[in-house]
Amino acid sequence: MLVRVQNLVKRYGNLLALDHFSMEVGEGEILGLLGPNGSGKTTTINCILSLLEYDKGVIEVFGKAMAPDAYESKRNIGVVMQNVAVFQELRVDENIDYFCGMYVSDAKARRRLVDKAIDFVGLGEFRTFYPKKLSGGLLRRLNIACGIAHEPKLIFLDEPTVAVDPQSRNKILEGIRDLNRQGATVVYTSHYMEEVEQLCTRIVIMDKGKTLAMGTKDELKAMINDGDTVTVELYALQPDHVANIRQLPHVTRAEYADNRLAVHFDGGQHNLLTLLDYLKSRDLSFGRVFSEQPTLNDVFLEITGRQLRD
């Protein structure tokens, strides 16, 4: 394991930010830390990086206890902060060179790494620009380049796509996949479940400083995937029909709102045909029909009773 966190407890005064939180990160993974704002994702990262004091728990990185003076471990860690951490007075290439130089002292090697990082984030034509001249998306890319230019083995990315345009977001996500393909292990925090679903090989869902669930995307969905949800566009469905549909085989839930009927089936086969047969038999005309797989939001909803973006 590259990172091992055990029973981590962190309090801010009376607020319990991390409540016996545990997780592990294996080599070559992209681990997603998913949770709503204030769930403790950034606090976890900052504790792992030895920036924050914590009340209790064990943190190991590269098999050694993590500490502020664990320089050997730190040399192999890259961090992309949630807030853009660059100097406004330095140009794009100077910013990357500056932060890279805190890890790599050889100037020749550093020049190569800086050029590579600039190409990687697609800032080639902006390399002599000052940060204030960059758009929000380009600034985020610079922030990433500053964190990964020294080619670390373990990279922490804390919400790197917040307030980023779709084009830059795709570029960033592609870049993270590339880094992983090149051998980097990635810890990625986000409250965007779509990103985490797309990107991460394993996911930790957390809320109120606790681990709610952990596993691959499929494992997590399997926790609640005891059936399918079928949605049908219908105009003016009477409540007695909804009641009748609830009586159909394997139906566990049926709700009608905004001209849409959502029916959840608990296992079984040919559920869609059964539902459509019922609608035809009652001469109920319908529009489009969707069959949906559960999302991570459904997992979160199932566990907490709340939406992920609450």
Least distance (Å) between residue 7 CB and other proteins: 18
Instruction: Residue count of the chain, please give it.
Output: 310
Nearer to other proteins, 1 or 85 (CB): 85
Residue range at the interface with other proteins (CB under 8 A); choices 67-75, 222-230, 269-277, 290-298: 67-75
Q: Which region among 29-37, 96-104, 258-266, 295-303 touches other proteins (by CB under 8 A)?
A: 96-104
User: What would the two tokens of residue 144 be?
Assistant: 């990433």
**Total site size for other proteins, rule CB under 8 A:** 34
For other proteins, give the closer residue by CB, 137 or 294: 137
The residue within the footprint of other proteins, chosen from 7, 37, 51, 170 (CB under 8 A), is 51
- 19/310 Cα distance (integer angstroms): 20
Stretch that binds other proteins, among 45-53, 132-140, 259-267, 297-305 (CB under 8 A): 45-53
Q: 157 in helix, strand or coil?
A: strand
The 10 Å Cβ neighbour count of residue 192 is 17
Nearest CB to other proteins, comparing residues 189 and 271: 189
Instruction: Establish if 162 lies at the interface with other proteins (CB under 8 A).
Output: no
Footprint (CB under 8 A) of other proteins, residues 3-42: 12
Distance, in Å, from the CA atom of 126 to the CA atom of 136, rounded to the nearest integer, reads 13
In this structure, what is the dihedral angle of CA atoms 80, 81, 86, 88, given to the nearest 10 degrees?
140
Q: Which of 137, 135, 100 is nearest to 117 (CA)?
A: 100
Q: Which is nearer to other proteins, 84 or 263 (CB)?
A: 84
Please select the residue that binds other proteins; options are 5, 49, 154, 232, rule is CB under 8 A: 49
Residue 80 CA to residue 160 CA, distance in Å, equals 7
Rg of the chain's alpha carbons, rounded to an integer? 24
Q: Does 99 bind other proteins (CB under 8 A)?
A: yes
Task: With contacts defined by CB under 8 A, name the span among 95-103, 196-204, 240-248, 289-297 that binds other proteins.
Answer: 95-103
Does 72 help bind other proteins (rule: CB under 8 A)? yes
Name the one residue in this structure whose structure tokens are 């009376």: 14
Number of other CB atoms surrounding residue 296 within 10 Å: 21
- Out of 5, 30, 33, 84, the only residue in the binding site for other proteins (CB under 8 A) is 84
Counting contacts by CB under 8 A, is residue 74 touching other proteins? yes
- Residue ranges in 102-141 that form contacts with other proteins under rule CB under 8 A: 102-103, 105
Among the listed residues 179, 174, 124, the one whose alpha carbon sits nearest the alpha carbon of residue 149 = 179
Question: Pick from 50, 211, 271, 274: which binds other proteins (CB under 8 A)?
Answer: 50
Q: How far apart are CA 17 and CA 11, in angstroms?
A: 5
| Nearest partner of 157 among 282, 48, 256, 259, judged by Cα | 48
Listed residue (37, 52, 15) closest to 190, CA to CA: 37
Binding site for other proteins (CB under 8 A): 12, 46, 49-53, 67-69, 71-72, 74-75, 77, 79, 81, 83-87, 89-90, 94, 97-99, 101-103, 105, 146-147
